[in-house]
Amino acid sequence: MKEIDIEEFLQIRHGIPVVDVRSPSEFKRGHIPGANNIPLFDDDQRARVGIRYHRQGREEAIMEGLRIVGPHMEALAKQARALAGQQRKLILHCWRGGMRSESMAWLFERLSIQTYVLKGGYKTYRRYGRARLQQPASVVVLSGYTGSGKTDILQALEREGEQVLDLEGLARHKGSAFGAMGQKEQLPNEHFENLIFEKWFRFNLNQPIWIEDESKMIGKNGIPDELFAVMRSAPVIRLEMSKSLRVERLVQEYACFDQQKLHQGIDKIRKRLGGDKARKAHQAIDQCDFHTAIDITLDYYDKAYLHGLKKRNHHQIYPLETDRDDPDCNARMLSQKAPQLLNDAYSFHS
């Protein structure tokens, strides 16, 4: 068994399977992306060992663990051997590098599997991820009214080789009252944060990192405090696009959804929209007049956007007009003009 620190772990893990030996519920709540779960204990068994530890001490907890694991050692061994494959190497971790990882490492070594154990376990991974978010980074926030196609522009930038953190994509939510439509179920917040860490680990922090302007919460997922602080202090490119173009884009995105879901979205913002406007929006949906319904809802979203923009440092907001809804074209315009517009805030390196 070889104990490795987080830096070495991040360097070698892509060629060696990673094994998370925590319980299924711990793994489901959040895990290192790409890891495989071979739990030493299931959830009930882990609870039993924990109770024994608190009531009778470490030695009795170990004895309880041995009673539980004994009959299952062969099954654990088979899973490990299959995962290790011909290279016969595994990296494993538990919560904080304690008895669970030590026990499984002992078993894997008996199978002649070269075993690396992450020092400090999953807890170290989480701590390292948050620390990385606090390091100086050349973040550029892409802002603009709802319907400006910001997500599509970010994806176009990424295709062109730019560094992009698509928070809405990772959160499986578009951030508005209608944001869950067409999306998969959101992940637990802990795992959402882990997906952010993984993207951040791959970034060159001296090069521009493009992020869409977001509120702290994206649906049920919250942006880590460390990252949100960076976003709030970063320079902002405000994409300015006409309302007519935005309405047309949103009609294309949302008119395909079940009308009942659209009604539910209107109901979520009824108080802010106002009773009369909400009623007119509902009527427009019933009549399949989606242009009118979206035009009405944008009155609320545009006001909310301007209110949020006022909280930012106006010296760090750079307006950029576009007269076309073409994500590829707008992405090229951004990548060409961003260095000039943001020269006062960051020094970009080619």
Domains of the chain: 2-129 (3.40.250.10), 136-341 (3.40.50.300)
Show which residues are catalytic: 94
126, containing H or E segment: helix 121-133
Q: Is the dihedral of CA 208, 211, 212, 215 positive or negative?
A: negative
Dihedral angle, C-alpha 144, 145, 147, 153, nearest 10 °: 0
Instruction: State how beta strands 217-218 and 221-222 pair.
Output: antiparallel
Contact status, residue 214 vs residue 168, Cβ threshold 8 Å: yes
Give me the pLDDT at residue 337, please: 78
CA distances from residue 8 to 97, 127, 345 in whole angstroms, order as listed:
15, 15, 34
10-residue mean pLDDT series, the chain (350 residues): 95 95 96 96 79 77 70 86 95 89 90 96 98 95 95 96 96 91 95 98 94 95 97 93 96 94 94 93 96 95 90 88 95 84 59
Give me the pLDDT at residue 219, please: 95
Three-point CA angle 322, 324, 328, nearest 5°: 95
Q: Helix, strand, coil shares of the chain as percentages rounded to 5?
A: 55, 15, 30
Give me the pLDDT at residue 70, please: 64
pTM of the model: 0.91
Which amino acid is it at 24? P
For residue 37, what are the β-bridge partners?
A: 20
Contact status, residue 239 vs residue 322, Cβ threshold 8 Å: yes
Contact status, residue 281 vs residue 265, Cβ threshold 8 Å: no
Residue 151: name the closest of 295, 303, 327 by CA. Answer: 327
350, containing H or E segment: none
